[in-house]
A and B are shown apart, each in its own frame.
Chain A
Amino acid sequence: MALFARKDRLPIPPKDAEKKTTVCQYCNVGCGYDVYKWPVGKDGGPKPSENALGIDFRKQQVALQGQAIIENMHTVVMDKDGKQYNVLVLPSKASPINRGNYSIRGGTNAQATYAPSKPTRNRLHYPLLRVGDQFQPISWDEAIDIIARVVKGVKDRWGPDSIAMKVHDHGGSGSGFEDNWAVGKFFFVAVGTRMLSIHNRPAYNSEVWGQRERGAHELNYSYEDARLADTIVLWGANSFETASVFYTEHMLPNLQGATIGEKKKIYRRGEPAEAARMIVVDPRRTASVTVAEDVAPGRVLHLRPNLGTDYVLANAIARAIYEKGWHDEEFIKKRTDLNTFEDYKKKSLMLDVPYEEFMRRVERLTGVSKRDIEKAAEWIAKPKRGGYRRRTLIIYEKGVIWGYKNYDTIASIAQIAALTGNYGKPGTGCGRQGGHQEGYVRPHSRSRAKLVGSIYAGGPPPNIDEYVKWDLRSKVYFVSGTDPYLSTPNAQEYKKRIHERTLALTKFLSEYAAAAGEPAGSEERAKRILEGLGKTDGLFLVVINMYQIETARDAHIVLPAAGWGETPQTSINCNSRLLRIYDKFMDPPGDAKPDWWIWGRIATRMKELYEAEGNYKEAKYCSGMDWKDAAEVFEDGASEFPDNRVSKADEAKLPAECYKGVTHDLLRKLGQKGIQTPVRIDPRTGKPVGTKRRYTYKFGTPDGKWKWYGTDPWDPDPKKFYPPQITKYFEHGNEKRFPFWFTNGRTQIFWQTGYHDRYLPEKVYTIPMPYIEMNYRDAERLGIKSGDIVEVYNMEGNCVAVVYVNDSPPPGTVYGIMYRFHESLNHLTTSYTDPKTTIPWYKASRVGIRKLSGKLEHIAKYTSFLPINDFK
């Protein structure tokens, strides 16, 4: 009856089970998990004295208080000693972040582990070399030698910029500080290329220079602030689904009034402490809105701006605050730069335009009423009884980060917090929610290629998607820890071009082999590749990943990477910058290796090749990467951070990730408690101390003051407001062919492309193919029902999707999941990037919808189509 095998019992960890500290490999929240491991057949007993958890398994555990142990938290792994071990991956009650809570994603961490008897056997085991149209396993020595010779050869002949990359920069699964440091040292120092791009996107950039260049890093608050705030603003952040435990464990109790006691301890004497209010800015009626409404009716405000108009809306809220006199004069005077404030008032607040006229323009463009704008202003900034300032925590994410005019949008939101004094105090802060966790440490100070910031800081950075697609000077392309065939904007055109270019090289090599036989070894093979890169439009593609990802189908070499739990790793989470160890508890599959080892080996081989020809200068740049273990890489990375023996106030000058003085061993001792970055060395005690909340005393600018930014002028007429990539859809009959706005996002059900989740039966049934959400009104007009299959298409590309009809997207707007397993709705996004930052606008394009005849019966039968945003 059950759709897949279920269990009704689990083995009990014995008292001597090995226990390791780890953190969820998935989202920004970074829930703590405890790993228990013991040999199969050596189970503990049900009495508290007989098991590692000290739980009486003879009794039913108590809801919420008990330790969650579910079927998905158990697995059996095989280590290189040839023995089988039980593994339990349990949400840690000792973690301040999740306190035993967990999400639908994290609850399956154990299932993501490799096992030869489970679907995760699909992991890459050995380096693979393309010969013609097939992959053949080869040794690491040969794979590394080919890559090192090709990189060196290309660099020597065409210069370092002929080597491009798109590589992870994050924390969590399969990366963290160790891997990021190795990647940086390889590309910044050993290679010295400028042609860098991060993770999913086309360039090497911060997504939030609009805030950073004001003087505040985007991760400045702590999870406690969500418990202490008077008002929580979620802007373009569907936290219930994409920061699940942060939302339910910390925001909901505040909305319910369950944290009033905590507030009274921290607030000033006489300051009113009440249950929080929540403002959600999102075109969709997301679950984050409807859950909050269920918990706190009357204390939730939902603003639904037209796509891409968020920066105008943010500045309008700021204008309303200023107009009512609710801004924080004292904070502005003491903590911010008054010269640039004039620019902000003129351009962003548009004080020259009369208030009523300004609001008329805003209403016309954004679709948000003046009444709601003023209500948001009141909830954010109107002082409480007794004149106490409201404590407002503003959390924003992809809805605006990947919006129109990235720089101006992020700046406008960050400045609301500065205008209202909401930085550096309990219950305040303004920053991103985060998508994944973070682990950024790269050798900027030693980079041979100049790294640039926004247009205001030497930038913008080059668009590497465009570079590898069209500029034949690009010869080698590394893709690691990301799957751009699904995740890069305008993905359909991108993969078509990468395919054409990689195929050109493959054809050359095949024809060469047909005439002269296969090469006699890696040196000869590398020579032919170099020759082919000179004679064709070819591109040599190297993919490093845990799985044979979509992009790997066009790779020439695929290298198998170790994943979460298979090597010690460190990352920080987003809501508190909490640094913890994600310890190793099992061996990687086959001969898979940690990324840092792979980059280190390629660099070291390049060093040997340069030394052999007497080029000691280049050899030196490739040195210092023959690390022995992850702990050594972590400590090598610490060398990049400045002297952190500074006062509490000077934390503002430290990079957000600064962990200097911390070691893997210290993190093992700290366990789930971890330490919050930036870490300082206390000048009095000489010991490392964390930073709970940032910018209490000064901002991260040379003079410590917030730098204001005056936004670009905007036109209230949508036809003039949007860029050509969108306005082309308003002309020549396109408005009729593509009548819907299209926006995209994530689901709570699975993580990213579902690279692990695709092996879990629950996920395959629940999200059987890409989906779109459509408003009842549009669906009725088009005769579309939940479960129908449609083609979504526009001038960029197409995708087939199953439909959920609900009231989440507004009429006229269709929402789709960004990507799933093998398919991508990024085919529909345009190639627009913000000219100031090269950040793409994933979140809006125009589409047409065509219903396919017939249904997929399996999907109609097994997938739930109940509305995911209705909790009544």
Chain B
Amino acid sequence: MLKAGLSRRTFIGGSVVLGALLTNFRFAKAFVAPSLPYRRKKIANIRELRTHRPIMFNYPDENSPAILVKIGRPAIGGIGPDKDIVAFSALCTHQGCPIQYSRGRFICKCHYSMFDPAKNGQTYQGHASEWLPQIRLRLDRKGNIYAEAIEGLVWGRVINLLPK
């Protein structure tokens, strides 16, 4: 079942392709996120989720904190029966501070940017010029939730998959 859900990108994977992408920016600039060979990662099972109870995880690597949350209202890119389960990078796109999930939205207490999880991580108030990068999720038949890719640049990087 998992195999059926594997994307072409995950199959390709591998450092050879990543290396080629990194050196060839003439092509890279035309790429729209997700443009990198992200690996799939299991985050949680849908049965563990409670509305407004966020789950922290790291994606695409251990230095990139992320938040999975069931927000209780339909969301752009939301999964699950209510289309209300979303995940985002947990680093504020403004200056990299950790964001908190509070009362249905994300807030960064460093400079008070606020992002709407139902609206693609939209900065509806504050300094952050960039919306919060949203993480593509997949739900399998057992209710497992996987992170598949990240749309938008994680703060503090020039490439989401850190180069060697």
Q: Mark A80-111, 1 if CB is under 8 A from B, else 0.
A: 00000000000000000000111111111000
Residues of B within 8 A of A11 (CB): 25, 28-29, 158
Q: How far is the CB of A491 from chain B (nearest CB, A)?
A: 27
CB under 8 Å from chain B, chain A span 249-294: 252, 287, 291, 294
**Residue A34 at the B interface, CB < 8 A?**
no
User: Are the C-beta atoms of B112 and A5 separated by less than 8 Å?
Assistant: no
Q: How far is the CB of B108 from chain A (nearest CB, A)?
A: 10
Of B97, B118, B154, B158, most A-chain CB atoms within 10 Å: B158
User: Are the C-beta atoms of A60 and B123 separated by less than 8 Å?
Assistant: no
Q: How far is the CB of B137 from chain A (nearest CB, A)?
A: 9
Which of B8-16, B42-50, B127-135 makes up part of the contact surface? B127-135
Residues of A within 8 A of B151 (CB): 1-2, 6, 8
- The chain A residue with its CB closest to the CB of B128 is A104
User: Are the C-beta atoms of A68 and B122 separated by less than 8 Å?
Assistant: no
**Residue B77 at the A interface, CB < 8 A?**
yes
Q: How far is the CB of A736 from chain B (nearest CB, A)?
A: 35
Which of A70-78, A132-140, A185-193, A690-698 makes up part of the contact surface? A70-78
- Distance A766 CA – B114 CA, assembled complex (angstroms): 12
- The chain B residue with its CB closest to the CB of A871 is B112
User: Are the C-beta atoms of B26 and A57 separated by less than 8 Å?
Assistant: no
Contact A762 to B96, CB < 8 A, known contacts A60-B157, A866-B105:
no
Residues of A within 8 A of B126 (CB): 104, 748
**Residue A684 at the B interface, CB < 8 A?**
no
Residues of B within 8 A of A9 (CB): 28, 31, 35-36, 153, 158-160
Q: Mark B60-102, 1 if CB is under 8 A from A, else 0.
A: 0001100000000000110000000000000111111110001
- Distance A46 CA – B34 CA, assembled complex (angstroms): 20
User: Are the C-beta atoms of B33 and A2 separated by less than 8 Å?
Assistant: yes
Residues of A within 8 A of B93 (CB): 70
Residues of B within 8 A of A748 (CB): 125-127
**Residue A385 at the B interface, CB < 8 A?**
no
- The chain A residue with its CB closest to the CB of B122 is A864
CB under 8 Å from chain B, chain A span 527-576: none
**Residue B152 at the A interface, CB < 8 A?**
yes
User: Are the C-beta atoms of A70 and B29 separated by less than 8 Å?
Assistant: no
**Residue B111 at the A interface, CB < 8 A?**
yes
User: Are the C-beta atoms of B153 and A71 separated by less than 8 Å?
Assistant: yes
- Distance A872 CA – B114 CA, assembled complex (angstroms): 11
Q: Pick the contact of B152: A6, A76, A868 (CB < 8 A).
A: A6
**Residue A41 at the B interface, CB < 8 A?**
yes
Q: How far is the CB of A244 from chain B (nearest CB, A)?
A: 6
Q: Mark A7-33, 1 if CB is under 8 A from B, else 0.
A: 111111000000000000000000000
**Residue A683 at the B interface, CB < 8 A?**
no
**Residue B107 at the A interface, CB < 8 A?**
yes
Contact A12 to B158, CB < 8 A, known contacts A6-B153, A101-B111:
yes
User: Are the C-beta atoms of B33 and A864 separated by less than 8 Å?
Assistant: no
Q: Pick the contact of A765: B28, B113, B122 (CB < 8 A).
A: B122
**Residue A701 at the B interface, CB < 8 A?**
no
User: Are the C-beta atoms of A57 and B95 separated by less than 8 Å?
Assistant: no
Residues of A within 8 A of B26 (CB): 40-41
Q: Pick the contact of A864: B29, B32, B119, B158 (CB < 8 A).
A: B119
Q: How far is the CB of B114 from chain A (nearest CB, A)?
A: 7
- The chain B residue with its CB closest to the CB of A865 is B124
- Distance A208 CA – B45 CA, assembled complex (angstroms): 62
User: Are the C-beta atoms of B91 and A63 separated by less than 8 Å?
Assistant: yes
Q: Describe A's contact surface by its main secondary structure.
A: loop
Q: Pick the contact of B129: A46, A107, A287 (CB < 8 A).
A: A107
Q: How far is the CB of B119 from chain A (nearest CB, A)?
A: 5
**Which size class do A's interface residues fall under?**
35 or more
Q: How far is the CB of B153 from chain A (nearest CB, A)?
A: 5
User: Are the C-beta atoms of A103 and B163 separated by less than 8 Å?
Assistant: no
CB under 8 Å from chain B, chain A span 852-872: 862-864, 866, 868-869, 871-872
User: Are the C-beta atoms of A62 and B156 separated by less than 8 Å?
Assistant: yes
Q: Pick the contact of A63: B95, B128, B157 (CB < 8 A).
A: B95
**Residue A58 at the B interface, CB < 8 A?**
yes
- The chain B residue with its CB closest to the CB of A760 is B129
Residues of A within 8 A of B129 (CB): 70, 72-73, 102-108, 762
- Distance A105 CA – B156 CA, assembled complex (angstroms): 19
Contact A8 to B122, CB < 8 A, known contacts A2-B134, A63-B95, A102-B127:
no
Q: Describe B's contact surface by its main secondary structure.
A: loop
- Distance A470 CA – B98 CA, assembled complex (angstroms): 58
User: Are the C-beta atoms of A8 and B35 separated by less than 8 Å?
Assistant: yes
Contact A71 to B130, CB < 8 A, known contacts A1-B77, A8-B35:
yes
Q: How far is the CB of A560 from chain B (nearest CB, A)?
A: 27
**Residue B3 at the A interface, CB < 8 A?**
no
- The chain B residue with its CB closest to the CB of A55 is B158
Residues of B within 8 A of A864 (CB): 116, 118-119, 122, 124
- Distance A294 CA – B157 CA, assembled complex (angstroms): 30
User: Are the C-beta atoms of B133 and A6 separated by less than 8 Å?
Assistant: yes
User: Are the C-beta atoms of B123 and A762 separated by less than 8 Å?
Assistant: yes
Residues of A within 8 A of B95 (CB): 63-64, 66, 68, 100-101
Q: Pick the contact of B96: A62, A749, A871 (CB < 8 A).
A: A62
User: Are the C-beta atoms of B25 and A63 separated by less than 8 Å?
Assistant: no
- The chain A residue with its CB closest to the CB of B97 is A63
User: Are the C-beta atoms of A8 and B127 separated by less than 8 Å?
Assistant: no
Residues of B within 8 A of A64 (CB): 95-97, 110
User: Are the C-beta atoms of B157 and A57 separated by less than 8 Å?
Assistant: yes
- Distance A2 CA – B33 CA, assembled complex (angstroms): 9
**Residue B41 at the A interface, CB < 8 A?**
no
- Distance A537 CA – B148 CA, assembled complex (angstroms): 67
- Distance A104 CA – B127 CA, assembled complex (angstroms): 4
**Residue A775 at the B interface, CB < 8 A?**
no
User: Are the C-beta atoms of A63 and B98 separated by less than 8 Å?
Assistant: yes
Residues of B within 8 A of A68 (CB): 94-96, 155
User: Are the C-beta atoms of B36 and A248 separated by less than 8 Å?
Assistant: no
Q: Mark A218-252, 1 if CB is under 8 A from B, else 0.
A: 00000000000000000000001000110010001
**Residue B164 at the A interface, CB < 8 A?**
yes
User: Are the C-beta atoms of A766 and B123 separated by less than 8 Å?
Assistant: yes
Q: Pick the contact of A104: B35, B103, B123 (CB < 8 A).
A: B123
Residues of A within 8 A of B133 (CB): 6, 8
Contact A291 to B112, CB < 8 A, known contacts A57-B158, A58-B163:
yes
- Distance A872 CA – B155 CA, assembled complex (angstroms): 24
User: Are the C-beta atoms of B156 and A6 separated by less than 8 Å?
Assistant: no
Of A1, A103, A765, most B-chain CB atoms within 10 Å: A1
**Residue A3 at the B interface, CB < 8 A?**
yes
Residues of A within 8 A of B154 (CB): 8
- Distance A7 CA – B93 CA, assembled complex (angstroms): 13
Q: How far is the CB of A540 from chain B (nearest CB, A)?
A: 41
**Residue A649 at the B interface, CB < 8 A?**
no
**Residue A61 at the B interface, CB < 8 A?**
yes
- Distance A40 CA – B26 CA, assembled complex (angstroms): 7
- Distance A741 CA – B118 CA, assembled complex (angstroms): 33
User: Are the C-beta atoms of B156 and A61 separated by less than 8 Å?
Assistant: yes
- Distance A40 CA – B96 CA, assembled complex (angstroms): 28
CB under 8 Å from chain A, chain B span 137-163: 150-160, 162-163
**Residue A43 at the B interface, CB < 8 A?**
yes
Nearest first, the 7 A-B pairs at minimum CB distance are: A107-B129, A63-B96, A61-B156, A864-B116, A864-B124, A8-B33, A9-B159
| A and B contact pairs by CB, cutoff 8 A, 24 listed | A1-B134, A2-B77, A2-B151, A6-B133, A8-B33, A46-B158, A46-B159, A60-B156, A63-B92, A66-B95, A70-B155, A71-B130, A104-B127, A106-B129, A107-B128, A108-B129, A240-B112, A248-B111, A749-B123, A765-B119, A765-B120, A862-B76, A866-B104, A866-B124
Other A-B pairs beyond A866-B114, A872-B102, 9, CB < 8 Å:
A40-B29, A41-B25, A63-B96, A63-B155, A76-B29, A102-B94, A104-B126, A104-B127, A862-B120
